[in-house]
Structure 1
């Protein structure tokens, strides 16, 4: 167990993985009970707790593990010391544990959200400190992540307003800030830096394409969409541009050529969901403008499950293999779990298009997501407790 604290990604991925499995276990149970006319009967509005756990319960832990491990290499600085990053990860994990405890003791929800906010502010300050210590000439990606982390702190503070002070009107802004101000810009900034680099090492004849303007667009366009939504304007113009850019980038990054290598294909196939999700948002925007609501939560889940969740499995698997001294290979079990999660995204999107089967598809998606993460966790979590296979530190 002492190996857990050898590097930030070990502890953060371990606790993030546990948090994901437990959160998905609750949601799968809720979906199955709804299929049979029941519910978990939480004193907290179920959709509020669902959004809070799925957006803020475990994704940020994986982000901290990645950025504190890979980020210092970007900046050519020493990684933060154990006594700096460990409290941030432990505090954030405690917040997630309290959120889960709220299923039994509702008061724990507000405590968990407050703990998340405190931990995230500290974690963000720590990352900014590494940036300030750096003399690297290129800090674009680090800066993009820092700004998104800052908006993440605002999103978490807004969620505290919901859970602690009962401000119902703050719920949707918290979700909007969380998705469009925080999570999506971080995922895209990291993808912009890492995916072309990985591809250039695998795809014959490919030269990494990651212009600075593309990174800027990957940050500004999500913020523009979120801003339009918060101001209750239709974001169709932003979404059309965003969808086109994401689809073009996927083609330019050689999506189909990536399938010669499973681990690389996982990243490319996940990125494809970002463009698909934005196309669904465009269709939804047009339908809203015509007064004919369409797709309900399908675009949002195409983004959060299709892109966020599958990309999480892809990136974390690659970091886990590379930083444990193991071959950069996705085994059959991990590969299967990964594609099961794509099936989950498809089922959740289909549930909004096929309302007659909605409850059955929700239950299938809930069970599928839980199974995918349980299988992945069974492969990955024990690695974080063991020494590196190559004998190297970290």
Structure 2
């Protein structure tokens, strides 16, 4: 589709050209900073940051990564994708930097704990409303109503964050838990929706058509219905045994999809295997959630399979690919260091999920190791990609 944008050029500074640039850069910086802070707090002084209104330090940690880090990646990805889908330029220039500034304001406020809660809520509200408008405008202009499902999930993420704040301000009992868990599953639903659109395409192109991923319409519909039911039952009712049964169904459904997309050849391509490994962690997360209902298995194992393994690996994999393609670089010849960075995150996910299950007495050590591996992976991402995100496209075009 021909893009309806102006390309004034030439350029020296490109950070404000397209949504992925500021938001992927901020997401990488925040991933290092906030997990570094969490590592220090966990090891030395959990009381150093007042977090009672958040529901405690672990809820603060969850909010920073779901409504902070993950939302930045989602914003950058969708502002870029909607431009491609519709052919209409999304928010750019000074307006894009202001939008990123709203996100950043909320994250800075979060570093002050409870004293920053009001400012944090206002910044997050402004950011979400602006992002929704920025995504809806080109969709409305081009009448691409199929994209409303994506925009609806962003609206639900904003509502989930609202539930969190209602709980933090003592206006809704348990609002923090409702908001956080709803946020996790909505981010997963976005990943699964977008993954269905792009992962098979990436695999087929990345392997030069030598393999055709298998897709089944009935399986797509079943997985969607099961996930909607799981989100409602797990978060809002909650009926734990029913949620566990739905999680088991989701593990089977997505396991079948994963198997239909898999071929051994993709493990030679870091930009492919990172996405498939991330998807695999989501499947494992649903399986662990099902098993935890009927065994002494720690439910945090499922949560971190979803978040560290699924969300963490998928977002890093997508950021590295999108940034290459949209800065005019060859996605079929990525930086060689990516395999190492993805490997660090993969080991970190395994350490965080499996370590406490196998050797619970060393849980604190497993957590610290996984945090350091996360920091190393995202620091490496910044080292390689920050220049790409700031500098103009290598082909001289706008974007």
Higher mean alpha-carbon deviation, 301-310 vs 20-29, is at 20-29
Residue from 39, 43, 55 that aligns with 2:46: 39
For residue 298 of structure 1, what is the aligned residue in structure 2?
301
Which residue pairs with 1:60 in the alignment?
Answer: 71
- What is the Cα deviation at residue 172 of structure 1? 1.0
Counterpart of 1:290 in structure 2 is none
C-alpha distance in 1 between matches for 2:244 and 2:193: 23
Residues 225, 239 of structure 1: 8 Å contact kept: yes
Could you say which residue in structure 2 is the equivalent of 1:240? Answer: 248
5 Å-filtered alignment, 1:175-194, equals: 175-180=180-185, 182-194=186-198
Cα RMSD of the aligned pairs, angstroms, is 2.1
**Matched residues in 2 for 1:251 and 1:231: separation?**
32
How far apart in 1 are the matches of 2:175 and 2:211? 46
Alignment of 1:346-385 (within 5 A): 346-353=350-357, 354-385=359-390
Asked if 1:250 is matched to 2:258, the reply is yes
Match of 2:59 among 48, 55, 62: 48
Cα deviations by residue, 1:338-370 (Å, 9 ceiling, x for unpaired): 111111111111243121111111111121211
8 Å Cα contact 2:15-2:389 kept in structure 1:
yes
1:83: Cα distance to partner?
5.6
> In the TM superposition, what is the alpha-carbon distance from 1:243 to its structure 2 partner?
0.3
Q: CA deviation at 1:332?
A: 3.3
Instruction: Provide TM-score, normalisation by structure 1.
Output: 0.89
Q: Aligned ranges for residues 318-337 of structure 1 at < 5 Å?
A: 318-328=321-331, 329-337=333-341
The answer to whether the 8 Å contact 2:304/2:353 transfers is yes
Check the 8 A contact 1:80/1:130 in 2, yes or no.
no
Distance in 2 between residues matched to 1:22 and 1:375, nearest whole Å: 13
* 1:202 CA drift (Å): 2.1
Q: TM-score, normalised by structure 2?
A: 0.88
Tell me if structure 2 keeps the 8 A contact 1:159–1:171. yes
Match of 2:392 in 1: 387
Using the alignment, how far apart are the partners of 1:76 and 1:210 within structure 2? 27
Question: Structure 1: which 5+ residue stretches go unaligned?
Answer: 288-292
| Other structure's SS at 1:276 match | helix
Instruction: Tell me how many residue pairs correspond in the alignment.
Output: 378
Partner Cα separation in structure 2 for residue 316 and residue 165 of structure 1? 37
Following superposition, the deviation at residue 115 of structure 1 comes to 1.3
Higher relative contact order (CA 8 A, sep 6+): 2
Residues 214 and 93 of structure 1, relative CA distance in 2, 3 Å threshold: farther
| Residue 340 (structure 2) pairs with residue 339 (structure 1) | no
